[in-house]
Amino acid sequence: MKPKFLILFSILLLSVFFSQAQQKNYQNEAGFQTDNDSYLAQGSDRYYTNGLFLYFRHALQTDTGKAKLFGKTLGFEAGQKMFNPQSAFIPAARYVDRPFAGYLYLGSSLQYLFKNESVLKLGVQVGVTGPAALGRQAQELVHKLLGFYAPEGWQYQIRNNLGVNLAADYGHLLFRYNWFDLTGNTYANLGTTFTGAGAGLMLRFGEFNPLYHSISTSGLVAKNRLVKEVHRRELFFYLKPTLNYAAYDATVQGGLFDTHSDPAEITGKVLPFVFSQEIGGSLTAGRWVFNLAAIFRTREVKTMVLVHQWGTATFLYRFN
């Protein structure tokens, strides 16, 4: 996978440098994100092993004169996450060090972008875990298409549960000097699938725009036809260390109100504190938005025998 990943990154670089720079802005943005541990060419197929997400964002409001608010964005998304133990081939229950689970959801969010470069995002998701999330079918299809081994062990997966989850994210610029800046980020989740919180930093290096009009905050859509930008193109690298606190995770512990009466279901216990580090690069030019990153996380479940990492790629297109 590594050569393919490098070729893809090279194509994205060329598309940015040879595309026509435009100051015109767009009211809508649509695209997708794909996550997979195989993108890092580690030969792993474990834990958070695959994710696929579809996005649509629409600018509701932009510069309001002397008001503190710069813009407001309405977003919609649909996604699926797949989790399995240390391998997707588990011949016996004793090898399940992280439960098999799928999570399928629909979500919406409202984001406020302020002129002082603070950002507030409020969101809600409705989804399902268990067989209804189609994690088993999706993994079997991917493995078949790519010629991988047949997964084994999904009979132990988390049972069906409906989830409703609320989320709030807040970020604020702490420091900037020329080609470098530092942002503080916090988040909180409350729901029947995920409950927890976290805090971290984002360090950007390169050519980037203010947080109220940057790929870093999904703030590139704007109602006005023109927005004064520091850079017509964004091209930067970033580090994003985060300390996460997990109070509840249904993909590990099963449904919040589930009695776990099914003897085939194998659940686990979450570790309360997890450290993650995201290292990536972002590119924008004209209508196009790209992001490539690698995420490294400490163990999330007490029985996990290994730490984990995966790659992520995001492709977006802006339009009116």
- Calculate what percentage of the chain has a pLDDT beyond 70: 88
Structure confidence at residue 263 (pLDDT)? 77
pLDDT at residue 20 in the model: 44
Give the pLDDT confidence of 222-243 residue by residue, as tens digits: 876 556 666 778 999 999 999 9
Query: CB-based contacts of 95: which residues, under 8 Å, 6+ apart?
Result: 85, 86, 87, 153
Tokens of 234: 């964004």
Q: What is the predicted pLDDT for the residue at 228? A: 64
Task: List CB contacts of 63: < 8 A, sequence separation 6 or more.
Answer: 70, 71, 224, 227
> Could you tell me the pLDDT band of residue 22, with boundaries at 50, 70 and 90?
very low
- Mean pLDDT, rounded, for 277-300: 95
Q: Cβ–Cβ contacts within 10 Å for residue 123, how many?
A: 17
Residue 24 confidence (pLDDT): 64
Angle at 158 between CA 153 and CA 162, to 5 degrees: 145
Name all domains of the chain by residue range, CATH numbers in brackets.
2-319 (2.40.128.140)
Predicted confidence at residue 64, as pLDDT, reads 61
Residue 67 has pLDDT above 90, yes or no: no
Q: What is the per-residue pLDDT across 114-140, written as a single tens digit (0 to 9) for each?
A: 999 999 999 999 999 999 999 999 999
- Please, are residues 106 and 126 in contact by the beta-carbon 8 Å criterion? yes
Using one digit for the tens of pLDDT, what is the confidence trace for 76-96? Answer: 999 999 999 999 999 999 999
Give the model's confidence band at 255: pLDDT under 50 very low, under 70 low, under 90 confident, else very high: confident
Instruction: Specify the pLDDT at position 261.
Output: 67
> In this model, does residue 216 exceed pLDDT 80?
yes
User: What pLDDT band is residue 276 in, cutting at 50, 70 and 90?
Assistant: very high
